[in-house]
C-alpha cells in the first residue's frame, strides 16, 4: 500500500504522496466533469480554464475563470463563465491587463456543440480541428460581447500570451498545414514561424519571452505523411505520436527536446527557463496512462513528477514559480471518470 499523509486544510482534503515529492499541499479546485487547460492570471490569483460539467448545464466545453483562494476555501464554489455558452470553446488565457481573457470558440459557426469525431474501424484516437474556431477576447466576467482577434475561415486556436505582454502565439491552418504563428497583442503583424509538415500546437513562451515550447507530430514515412494529409482534409489530427520542440520566438534555432515515442504534449517552461514540464505516456504499455515529467531544455535529465491516477496533463507554473496547476483524474468520485483541476506548491 502506498505511503501517504492525509491532512485537512481549509476544509478540503490535501494529500501528499511520497512518490510525488515535488508536489506539496495538493488541493482540488474543481469537482465534476472534465476540467482542463487551467492557466494562471498574470498576478497568480486566478485561473482561466475550460469545463463541460453537466451540473452547470453544459453540453461541451465552455470557458470559466475562478479565484484560486475562493475555490480552495469552498468546494461548492461556482466559477464565472466567460464564453457565450454557444458552440465549443478551448484554450483560454489571460491577457496582460489581468482582466481580459483570450480564448477560441466556434460560437459564430453555430450555437450547437460541433460533433465529436465519429468512431473509426481502426479505433484511432483523433482530435477535431474545427474550421469554425476563431480567437476572441472578452472581460473575465463575460459581460461584454466577445471581440474577434483572429477571424477567418479555417482553424485558429491554441493561443497563449508572452509574459512580456507583447506577443501571442497560436496555431492556424491558413497555410494548408497546422503551423505556429505569432502576432502582436492587438492581433497585428501575424507571422508564420514553423514550416515543416505536421501538427505544431500547444505553444507557450519562456519566462523571458524569447523562446517557445510546443508539441509536434511530424510524419516522416510515406504512409505517415499520407495518413496525416488524409486526416487533415477531414479536419482531424491523430495526437498519438508527438514530441516536444523549442525554438526562438521568430522560429529560428528549432530543436527537438524529446525522443521518447508515443504522445509527449502539454509542455510548459519551468520558471528557470532551463527545464520543461510536460505530459507523456511513453512509459505506458497500454497507451492511456499520462503522467507529468520534467526535462532539461537540451533533452537531458528526464524525471517523472506524478504517479497517481491515469491522467495528468496541462501543467503550468504560477508567475512567481511557487505553485503548479494541472488537470488530473485522481480523487475521482465513485463511478465517474472526472478530470479536475489541482494545484500544489512546487518543491525543488
List, for residues 105-126, the tens digit of each pLDDT value: 999 999 999 998 888 888 888 9
Tell me which residue has cell 500546437: 201
> Would you state the pLDDT for residue 121?
84
DSSP-based three-state secondary structure for 234:
coil
- Domain assignment of residue 255, yes or no: yes
Query: 224 and 244 in contact (C-beta within 8 Å)?
Result: no
> Would you state the pLDDT for residue 15?
52
Cα gap 92→81, rounded to integer Å: 12
> Would you state the pLDDT for residue 17?
59
- List the pLDDT tens digit at each of the 348 positions of the chain: 223 222 223 334 445 556 899 999 999 999 999 999 999 999 999 999 999 999 999 999 999 999 999 999 877 889 999 999 999 999 999 999 999 999 999 999 999 999 988 888 888 889 999 999 999 999 999 888 999 999 999 999 999 999 999 999 999 999 999 999 999 999 999 999 999 999 999 999 999 999 999 999 999 999 999 999 999 999 999 999 999 999 999 999 999 999 999 999 999 999 999 999 999 999 998 778 999 999 999 999 999 999 999 999 999 999 999 999 999 999 987 778 899 999 999 999
Provide the grid cell at 16: 501528499
- Domain assignment of residue 325, yes or no: no
- Domain assignment of residue 1, yes or no: no
- Domain assignment of residue 167, yes or no: yes
- Domain assignment of residue 48, yes or no: yes
pTM score: 0.93
> Would you state the pLDDT for residue 290?
96
DSSP-based three-state secondary structure for 288:
coil
Helices (H), 91-135: none
Angstrom CA distances, 222 to 177, 227, 229, stand at 17, 9, 11
Nearest of 10, 19, 13 to residue 309 by alpha carbon: 19
Q: Give the structural domain span for 91.
A: 31-318
For the beta carbon of residue 332, count every other beta carbon within 10 angstroms.
15
In the chain, the number of structural domains is 1
CATH label of the domain that carries residue 71: 2.120.10.30
- Domain assignment of residue 194, yes or no: yes
Amino acid at each position: 500500500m502506498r505511503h501517504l499523509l492525509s491532512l485537512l486544510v481549509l476544509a478540503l482534503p490535501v494529500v501528499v504522496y511520497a512518490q510525488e515529492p515535488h508536489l506539496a499541499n495538493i488541493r482540488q479546485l474543481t469537482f465534476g466533469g472534465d476540467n482542463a487547460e487551467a492557466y494562471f492570471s498574470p498576478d497568480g490569483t486566478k485561473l482561466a480554464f475550460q469545463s463541460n460539467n453537466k451540473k452547470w448545464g453544459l453540453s461541451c466545453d465552455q470557458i470559466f475563470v475562478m479565484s484560486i483562494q475562493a475555490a480552495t476555501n469552498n468546494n461548492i464554489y461556482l466559477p464565472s463563465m466567460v464564453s457565450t455558452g454557444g458552440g465549443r470553446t478551448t484554450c483560454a488565457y489571460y491577457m496582460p491587463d489581468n482582466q481580459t481573457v483570450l480564448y477560441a470558440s466556434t460560437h459564430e459557426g453555430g450555437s450547437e456543440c460541433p460533433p465529436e469525431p465519429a468512431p473509426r474501424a481502426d479505433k484511432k484516437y483523433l482530435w477535431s480541428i474545427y474550421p469554425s474556431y476563431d480567437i476572441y477576447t472578452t472581460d473575465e466576467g463575460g459581460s461584454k460581447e466577445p471581440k474577434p482577434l483572429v477571424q477567418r475561415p479555417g482553424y485558429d486556436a491554441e493561443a497563449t500570451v508572452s509574459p512580456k505582454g507583447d506577443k501571442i502565439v497560436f496555431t492556424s491552418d491558413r497555410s494548408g498545414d497546422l503551423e505556429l504563428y505569432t502576432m502582436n497583442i492587438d492581433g497585428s503583424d501575424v507571422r508564420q514561424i514553423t514550416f515543416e509538415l505536421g501538427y505544431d500546437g500547444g505553444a507557450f513562451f519562456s519566462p523571458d519571452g524569447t523562446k517557445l515550447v510546443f508539441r509536434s507530430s511530424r510524419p516522416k514515412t510515406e504512409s505517415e505523411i499520407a495518413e496525416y494529409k488524409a486526416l487533415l482534409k477531414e479536419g482531424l489530427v491523430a495526437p498519438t505520436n508527438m514530441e516536444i520542440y523549442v525554438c526562438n520566438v521568430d522560429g529560428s534555432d528549432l530543436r527537438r527536446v524529446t525522443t521518447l515515442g508515443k504522445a509527449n504534449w502539454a509542455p510548459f517552461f519551468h520558471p528557470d527557463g532551463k527545464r520543461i514540464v510536460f505530459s507523456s505516456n511513453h512509459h505506458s504499455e497500454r497507451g492511456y496512462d499520462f503522467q507529468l515529467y520534467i526535462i532539461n531544455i537540451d533533452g537531458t535529465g528526464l524525471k517523472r513528477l506524478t504517479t497517481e491516477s491515469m491522467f495528468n496533463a496541462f501543467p503550468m507554473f504560477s508567475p512567481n514559480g511557487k505553485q503548479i496547476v494541472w488537470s488530473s483524474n485522481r480523487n475521482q468520485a465513485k463511478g465517474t471518470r472526472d478530470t479536475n483541476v489541482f494545484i500544489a506548491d512546487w518543491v525543488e
